[in-house]
Amino acid sequence: MEQRRVVTVAVMLGMFLAALDTTIVATALPTIARVLGGLELYAWVVASYSLALTAATPVFGGLADRYGRRPVYLLGVAIFLGGSALCGAARSMPELVVFRAVQGVGGGALLPVAITIVGDLFSLEERARVQGLFSGVWGVASVVGPLLGGFLVDRGAWRWIFYANLPLGLVTLWVVARKYREPPVRAEGPVDVVGAALLVACVVVGLWSLERASFGPGLALSGLLAAAFVVWESRSSHPVVPLRLFRNRLVSAASVTGFLVGAALFGSLYYVPLFVQGVQGRGPTEAGAVLTPLMLAWTAASSLGGRLVLRFGFQRVALAGVGLLGAGFAVLVGMPTDASAGPVRWATALLGTGMGLVVLVTVLAVQSSVPYTERGLATSLTLFFRSIGGAVGVSVLGSLMVRRLRAAGVEVGQLRGLLDPVERMALGPEVLEPLRVHLAAGLEAVFTASLVLSGLALLSLRAFPAGPVSESAGGPVGEAAD
């Protein structure tokens, strides 16, 4: 029991590094871009990390099943720390973009393999309680990251945003290497290098196209690579992603659900502050603050969700989560342009509560439905499809808003005056009001599309077991579970 606690804390520490990295870098990035130059690469500092992490997630999940959680997790942490050290030493923005990609590759192991290790160490009943702590890690990181990032930037020490990962990561490496033991795993056959390369290329090209809002040749190439990947994997004797895994209705349903709720939430998340600042005329600080209830509610729902799952079952809790997610979008759809900040915060709290429940249920349900030898890949696939959904949602819903604005004769560049307090005050009512109305209409289209996606997610939940929870694939394994 003591070993389980020590290993769990160490794994959570590794997850904290990945979670903290997202929020702390976002806070410091304007200063980093000013110091290093290359402002045109600003977005790619974030995008390179996200692309590499998303592409690496299913690969590491499959490797963890073939070679064991421990060596793959240690490899991921080592790559993440190496990337962190390189980022701290970067001398230019192009270097930082490349080094952030290295960091992202390591990050692709931290989350899925960590959740898989917890799935191995604990029974379903215990896991339902422990998994909620992992969302708590993200909640803490969302609060600590901006504060720590601002503190370091104000003191001219932005490089320590990356160097700070090293001591915490080394502790994680040491504890997992010394304390975590698992059954010996003997991989059969060589690694499916071609399959892994096709998967990574498909994801990178597709997400790159979405980042650039290019829906032509890039997405077509990504589709061809996806088709080639499916054909190759169906013929491979040792595939990196066994397609038979999708014959499991629960794995398929969780993947579809993750994609839909990821597209709905993350596709709209970036536009809630735009509504508060551009339509309601509030400042940047207040616009960012409306997302705090979302993170707090997500953390609380994940912490309580385990008990709800044990009492009401997977399907009921998942239905409640998606229902709350839809309720949050419904509030945003009907939001008056002159509403106070209170209703917006209530809407984001509903979104966070719903997402916290859905994310917890999909991971627990999938882990309970597959054997130990497939748990790593199955876990990583739920995270992978949620990330893909988020990327698709941001791009497609953003394009929907732009098309709605252009149909009204408004270009996105004209909205700048709504976002700058000084310029906004200089706009006359005859200019300000039409811009507010058209932006509100564009955002209403985004929130309505997210509401529809939530409704589709409800349909995918029919495959989830309706009765009491059960551990169909066995309980905890490994010496550390004793």
How many CB atoms neighbour CB 409 within 10 A? 9
Assign 279 a pLDDT band (cuts: 50, 70, 90): confident
Please give the residue that has the higher pLDDT: either 415 or 336: 336
CA distance 404 to 446: 10
Structure tokens at 209: 């196209």
Please give the residue that has the higher pLDDT: either 322 or 115: 322
Structure tokens at 394: 């941001």
CA distance 212 to 159: 28
Please give the mean pLDDT across all residues of the chain: 82
Say if 1-181 and 245-472 have the same CATH topology. Answer: yes
Structure tokens at 249: 């209705």
Q: What average pLDDT score do residues 403-424 get?
A: 74
Q: What average pLDDT score do residues 228-240 get?
A: 86
Residues of the chain above pLDDT 90, percent:
16
Q: Tens digits of per-residue pLDDT, 195-204?
A: 888 888 888 8
Structure tokens at 135: 């969302």
Q: Evaluate the CA torsion angle 447, 452, 456, 459 in order and state its sign.
A: positive
Residues 6+ apart with CB under 8 A from 317: 305, 308, 309, 357, 360, 361
* Domain 245-472, architecture per CATH: Up-down Bundle (1.20)
Locate the domains of the chain by residue range: 1-181, 193-241, 245-472
CA distance 388 to 206: 9
- Collapsing DSSP to helix, strand or coil, 242 comes out as coil
Q: Tens digits of per-residue pLDDT, 289-315?
A: 787 788 788 888 888 888 888 888 888
Assign 351 a pLDDT band (cuts: 50, 70, 90): very high
CB 355 within 8 A of CB 298: yes
Place of tokens 């984001």: 348
Structure tokens at 468: 């009491």
Task: Residue 290: name the closest of 263, 265, 272 by CA.
Answer: 272
- Collapsing DSSP to helix, strand or coil, 103 comes out as helix
Q: Tens digits of per-residue pLDDT, 54-101?
A: 888 888 888 888 888 889 999 999 999 999 999 999 988 889 989 998
Domain range 1-181, CATH class: mainly alpha
Structure tokens at 262: 């990821």
